[in-house]
Structure 1
Amino acid sequence: MYKTLTSTVCALALTTGAALAQDSITVGMVLEPPNLDPTGGAAAATDEVVYANVFEGLTRVGPDGSIGPALATSWDVEEDGKVYVFHLAEGVTFHDGAEFNADDVVFTLDRARAEDSTNAQKVLFEGIESVEAVDPATVRVTLDAPDGNFPFKMSWGDAVMVDEASAADLATNPIGTGPFKFDEWRQGDSIVLSAYDGYWGEKPALTSATFRFISDPTAAFSAMMAGDVDAFPNYPAPETLTQLEADPRFKVIVGTTEGETILAMNNTEPPLDNIKMRQAIAHAINRQEIIDGAMFGYGTPIGSHFAPHNPDYIDLTEQSAYDPEASQALLAEIGGDAPTLRLALPPPTYARRGGEIIAAQLRAVGIETEITNMEWAQWLETVFKGGDFDLTVISHTEPLDIDIYARDDYYFHYAKPDFVALMDQLTETIDPAQRSELLKQAQQMIADDFVNVFLFQLAKTGVANAKIEGLWENSPNQSNDLTKVRWTE
Structure 2
Amino acid sequence: VTTSPPATNLASQPIGTGPFRFKQWNRGDSLLLVRNDDYWGAKAKLQEVVFKYFSDANASNNALKAGDIDVLGAVQGPEQLGSFRGDSRFKVNQGAPTGKIIVSLNNATGNAALRDPRVRQALSYAVDRKAFVEGVEAGYAVPIGSHSVPNPSEPYYADMTKIYTRDTGKAKQLLAAAGYASGLTLRLDLVTEFPYAQRTGQILISELQEIGVKVQAQTLGFAEWLQRDFLDGNYDLTVINHTEPRDIGNYGNPKYYWHYDNQQVRAWLGQADAELDPSQRKDLYTKIQRQIADDAVNLFLMSPDSLSVQRANLHGYPQSLVSPAIFLGGAYFS
Structure-1-length-normalised TM-score: 0.64
In the alignment, the residues of structure 2 paired with residue 213 and residue 298 of structure 1 have an alpha-carbon distance, to the nearest angstrom, of: 24
What is the CA deviation profile of residues 368-422 of structure 1, one whole-angstrom value per residue up to 9, with x for unaligned ones? 2222223222222222222221111111111112111001211111130000000
- For residue 163 of structure 1, report the CA deviation from its aligned partner: 6.1
User: RMSD across aligned C-alpha pairs, in angstroms?
Assistant: 1.9
Please tell me whether residue 381 in structure 1 is matched to residue 223 in structure 2: no
SS in 2 for 1:475: coil
- Aligned twin of 1:473: 319
- For residue 453 of structure 1, report the CA deviation from its aligned partner: 0.6
Please tell me whether residue 193 in structure 1 is matched to residue 38 in structure 2: no
Please tell me whether residue 339 in structure 1 is matched to residue 179 in structure 2: no
- Aligned twin of 1:323: 167
Preserved contact between residue 221 and residue 237 of structure 1 (Cα < 8 Å)? no
- The match for 2:140 among 290, 298, 301 is 298
| Larger displacement relative to structure 2 (426-435 or 235-244) | 235-244
Q: Which has the larger radius of gyration?
A: 1
Preserved contact between residue 180 and residue 193 of structure 1 (Cα < 8 Å)? yes
Q: After TM superposition, list the pairs within 5 Å mapping 1:71-470 onto structure 2.
A: 104=1, 166-269=6-109, 270-309=112-151, 310-336=154-180, 338-346=183-191, 347-470=193-316
In the alignment, the residues of structure 1 paired with residue 59 and residue 184 of structure 2 have an alpha-carbon distance, to the nearest angstrom, of: 37
Code of the residue aligned with 1:320 in structure 2: it is Y
Preserved contact between residue 257 and residue 397 of structure 1 (Cα < 8 Å)? no
- For residue 267 of structure 1, report the CA deviation from its aligned partner: 0.5
In the alignment, the residues of structure 2 paired with residue 264 and residue 421 of structure 1 have an alpha-carbon distance, to the nearest angstrom, of: 23
In the alignment, the residues of structure 2 paired with residue 208 and residue 386 of structure 1 have an alpha-carbon distance, to the nearest angstrom, of: 40
SS in 1 for 2:216: strand
**What residue ranges of structure 1 are gaps of 5+ in the alignment?**
1-103, 105-161
What is the CA deviation profile of residues 10-62 of structure 1, one whole-angstrom value per residue up to 9, with x for unaligned ones? xxxxxxxxxxxxxxxxxxxxxxxxxxxxxxxxxxxxxxxxxxxxxxxxxxxxx
Instruction: Identify if the C-alpha distance between structure 1 residues 422 and 264 changes in structure 2 by more than 3 Å, giving closer, same or farther.
Output: same
Instruction: Identify if the C-alpha distance between structure 1 residues 447 and 405 changes in structure 2 by more than 3 Å, giving closer, same or farther.
Output: same
**What residue ranges of structure 2 are gaps of 5+ in the alignment?**
none
In the alignment, the residues of structure 1 paired with residue 186 and residue 235 of structure 2 have an alpha-carbon distance, to the nearest angstrom, of: 9
Preserved contact between residue 220 and residue 237 of structure 1 (Cα < 8 Å)? no
SS in 2 for 1:244: coil
Instruction: Identify if the C-alpha distance between structure 1 residues 338 and 167 changes in structure 2 by more than 3 Å, giving closer, same or farther.
Output: farther
SS in 1 for 2:228: helix
Instruction: Identify if the C-alpha distance between structure 1 residues 306 and 163 changes in structure 2 by more than 3 Å, giving closer, same or farther.
Output: farther
What is the CA deviation profile of residues 323-372 of structure 1, one whole-angstrom value per residue up to 9, with x for unaligned ones? 22222222222234532222122222222221222122222322222222
Identity of aligned residues (%): 37
Preserved contact between residue 97 and residue 141 of structure 2 (Cα < 8 Å)? no
Preserved contact between residue 77 and residue 196 of structure 2 (Cα < 8 Å)? no
Preserved contact between residue 253 and residue 462 of structure 1 (Cα < 8 Å)? yes
Q: Which has the higher contact order (CA 8 A, sep 6+)?
A: 2
In the alignment, the residues of structure 2 paired with residue 461 and residue 353 of structure 1 have an alpha-carbon distance, to the nearest angstrom, of: 17
Q: After TM superposition, list the pairs within 5 Å mapping 1:6-85 onto structure 2.
A: none
